[in-house]
Structure 1
Amino acid sequence: MDAFSLLPDHLISSILSFLPLTIAARTSVLSRRWRPLWAHITAFNVDADRLFPSDSAKQIRCIDAILSHPQLNILELKIALSSCTPAPVLARWAVNLARRRVTNVGLISVDQPHLALQTLFTSKSLTKLELQYCKLNNDGSSPLVACSSLKLIELKAVTTSNETISEILSACKNLNSLRIEYCSLYSVVVSHQRLECFELVTGLSRCDINIETPNLRELELDVPCNVKRIRVLAPIVRRSRVGFQSGLLTCGDLLGSLTGLVAGIENAEELQLCGAIVQVGGLD
């Protein structure tokens, strides 16, 4: 007997969760013992676009089959699509995810996921939400319901607005961590009473950043050299890192960018600055 076979079933299932879904399912033919193990996976990363390139109908059927499988105990699910998914389909998936009490949800390349969020936010089990390459906007006609369980939100390359971000923050009163990376935001206003960790990565020049989070402990910013303004009010922050993306930065620009930051984190134990080349004489 090989060493791998000596592992208990729950460890083997945990290892299988790191494999693509199709490969994990194929292990069911190895032996009678292996036949049910893949069904005990709790974390699913379903790249439907790679499984069925440019075939939205098959992609939808694939996700439907996973969400309706009676033997799967889905706790974490990340879905990657290639085309616009009809609103009724998104609503159906959101209902199934909420019913299954899924804790971590990731949506990649999903158009208008706001429709799904309205249902997902009704779930009492949702703790992490990740959106990548999505279009997230709301016309204000259907406000999000409060979601007390959500602790972590990650937004990457999401087309959205500061108004929508503010709506999400207002709905998630117990949010602990927020990461915004390369989203289409020229103005970033983050105001939250319980947020402890905030990370912002943006490549947009002249971005106006305003952060008012009285409970913030960790702050990380990665911004262009010519960022318009950084204003922070976080009196108990302990660790702060500001990275300026490659380019020349005059002393005047540096002082202008940092004045609003340093004044708001005066009790920080650590402040790390990196990435910029400061050009002496910029104060003139």
Structure 2
Amino acid sequence: MMPPKARKLRRSLVPDALSYLPDNIIDVILMCLPSKDAVRTSILSKKWRYHWCRLTKLELDESLWITKKDLLNPTIKFRKIMYQFLSLHEGPITKFTLDVVHLASCPEIDNFIYFLSRNDIQHLALHLPLRKEYKLPSLLFACSQLRHLSLCYCSIQHPSAFQGFDKLISLNLCEVNISSELLESLISHCPLLEELELDIANKSDTIEINAPMLRSFDLSGNISSVCLKNVPRLVKVLLYGDYIKAEDLDFAKVFECCPALEHLLFFSLDSGVNIA
């Protein structure tokens, strides 16, 4: 039997398997983990300490700062995490999700958006606090590589020089404060838009949807405030209206500019209709 000292010496000579993993393997492992766990890997070894800083896909939500003995204000915790992220991250970020809907107030994220706009962001989801509407900076419209954009509980307005999101494929706006004119302009300046989700419960002005590549359209809220003007490729439509009955809508008129339409789902608080 090997003496204790010899066993201890042998263990000290065994290579650290984690430290000898190739960089590309470490990157694959980190990509498979939730962002919180990916950051925690920094304690494994010196080689792993800053590997998470090169992740191209990140999700920040309350799981990063909520604990059972939570004595520090969540907003303050989020600011600390955001500062560490901005100061340590290297390289491009293609996908980023920020979900802070349960914070009492929205922290300053303008610098965050500026950082993303300079790092090739393609998929951006911002789900901001319910209680206080946050005005997004015009920097958002500098994200020229965007392909997927999801915004919840915020206010937006684009600058007059905005030329559009040339690569945007999907757009989701939920409880977003935006004028009818700006919404029309935003949609019409996304020539490749294929998927559109809107929650416009409080809109009164009619919004014309001009999206020649659109294939899927989900609308919640005031259905009568939308006019499908130029959607020749539209295949699937989901309408969820408040207290609107199917017999009150002239479907032939509403969808006369949708020659490719195959599936129509209509729901209201009074009744539900499934038309295919």
Whether the TM-score (by the shorter chain) exceeds 0.5 is yes
CA contact (8 A) 1:120 1:126 kept: no
The equivalent of 2:226 in structure 1 is 209
Question: What residue identity is the alignment partner of 1:92?
Answer: N
Give the Cα separation in 1 of the matches to 2:40 and 2:191.
Answer: 42
Aligned residue among 22, 33, 38 for 2:52: 38
How does 1:214-233 map onto structure 2 within 5 Å? 214-224=231-241, 226-227=243-244
Instruction: Look at both structures and tell me which one has the larger radius of gyration over its CA atoms.
Output: 2
The equivalent of 1:97 in structure 2 is 116
The equivalent of 1:47 in structure 2 is 61
Give the Cα separation in 1 of the matches to 2:36 and 2:86.
Answer: 15
Measured against aligned partners, the alpha-carbon deviations of 1:147-200 in whole angstroms (never above 9, x if no partner) come to 333332211233444233123224434434322246543555233244423422
C-alpha spacing 1:47/1:167, structure 2 compared with 1 (3 Å): same
Give the Cα separation in 1 of the matches to 2:189 and 2:264.
Answer: 32
Aligned residue among 151, 162, 170 for 1:145: 162
C-alpha spacing 1:137/1:273, structure 2 compared with 1 (3 Å): closer
How does 1:107-146 map onto structure 2 within 5 Å? 107-109=126-128, 111-115=133-137, 118-132=138-152, 134-138=153-157, 142-143=159-160, 145-146=162-163
C-alpha spacing 1:197/1:26, structure 2 compared with 1 (3 Å): same
Q: Percent identity?
A: 20
Give the Cα separation in 1 of the matches to 2:61 and 2:272.
Answer: 41
Give the Cα separation in 1 of the matches to 2:175 and 2:33.
Answer: 25
Question: What residue identity is the alignment partner of 1:26?
Answer: R
The two structures have a TM-score, normalised by structure 2, of 0.69
Give the Cα separation in 2 of the matches to 1:84 and 1:143.
Answer: 29
How does 1:56-95 map onto structure 2 within 5 Å? 56-71=75-90, 73-81=92-100, 82-85=103-106, 89-95=108-114
C-alpha spacing 1:155/1:127, structure 2 compared with 1 (3 Å): same
Give the Cα separation in 2 of the matches to 1:262 and 1:149.
Answer: 27
Aligned residue among 25, 29, 37 for 1:23: 37
Give the Cα separation in 1 of the matches to 2:258 and 2:192.
Answer: 22
SS at match of 2:228: strand
SS at match of 1:200: strand
Q: CA deviation at 1:218?
A: 2.8
Give the count of matched residue pairs.
242
> Cα RMSD between the aligned structures?
3.6
Question: What residue identity is the alignment partner of 1:202?
Answer: S
Q: CA deviation at 1:27?
A: 2.3
Q: CA deviation at 1:221?
A: 1.9
Question: What residue identity is the alignment partner of 2:35?
Answer: L
Measured against aligned partners, the alpha-carbon deviations of 1:174-233 in whole angstroms (never above 9, x if no partner) come to 4343222465435552332444234223145x6432111244333322223743xxxxxx
Structure 1 residue runs without a partner (length 5+): 228-248, 279-284
The equivalent of 2:254 in structure 1 is 261
The two structures have a TM-score, normalised by structure 1, of 0.67
SS at match of 2:207: strand
Give the Cα separation in 1 of the matches to 2:80 and 2:151.
Answer: 21
